[in-house]
Amino acid sequence: MEIQLSSFASFLLIILAFMSCFSEATAGRGGIHGGIATYWGQNIREGRLTAACTTEKFQIVNIGFLSTFGNGQSPQVNLTRHCNPIYNGCWNVSAGIVNCQNGGVKVMLSVGGPHGNYSLSSVTEAVGLADYIWNNFLHGHSTSPRPFGYAPLDGVDFRCVELE
C-alpha cells in the first residue's frame, strides 16, 4: 500500500507541474487569475515568514528555493541566512508556515530558482524528486527529520522553462 501511495503521490506531483506550467502560460491571455504571490527566503532583510503573511498583501507565499537536486545529489533547500537545513534545520520556519496558513495565506515550496545546481536527467530522478517533495514538504511521511518540521505546505511552485 505504501508503494502505491508513493507512486500515486509522484504521479500527482508530475501532473501538478504540468498544470502549473499550463496555467502560467495562459494567465496572460485571459486564463487563470489569482491573488498576489511573493517569494520568501532569499533575503535576510525580509524578516520572518510570519511577517510576510501578516502584511495582508499576499495570498500565496512561495518559500524559495529547493535549488539542489538531480545528478545523484541529495535535494537541498537554500534559504540564505534564515536557516540551514543541513546544520541547524529550519524548524523555526514551521511556526511561520502554520501562522500563514491560519491567516488564510497559502504557503508553497518553490522548486528551482535563479541560482542552484539542479537538473533531472531521467524519469527515475523525477519520480525520486516527487517522492522526496511529497514526503518532506507535503503530506507524506519521512523517515528522517523534515526540513521545515511537520507543518505540511499547501503545494509546490515549479519554475517552467520554455523549450525552443
pLDDT means per 10 residues, the chain with 164 residues, are 49 54 42 74 91 94 93 90 78 92 96 86 90 94 88 87 40
pLDDT for 150:
85
- Residue range 2-158 forms a domain whose CATH class is alpha beta
Would you say 159 and 114 are in contact if contact means Cβ atoms under 8 Å apart? Answer: no
pLDDT for 59:
95
The three cell numbers locating residue 10: 509522484
Sketch the domain layout of the chain as residue ranges. 2-158
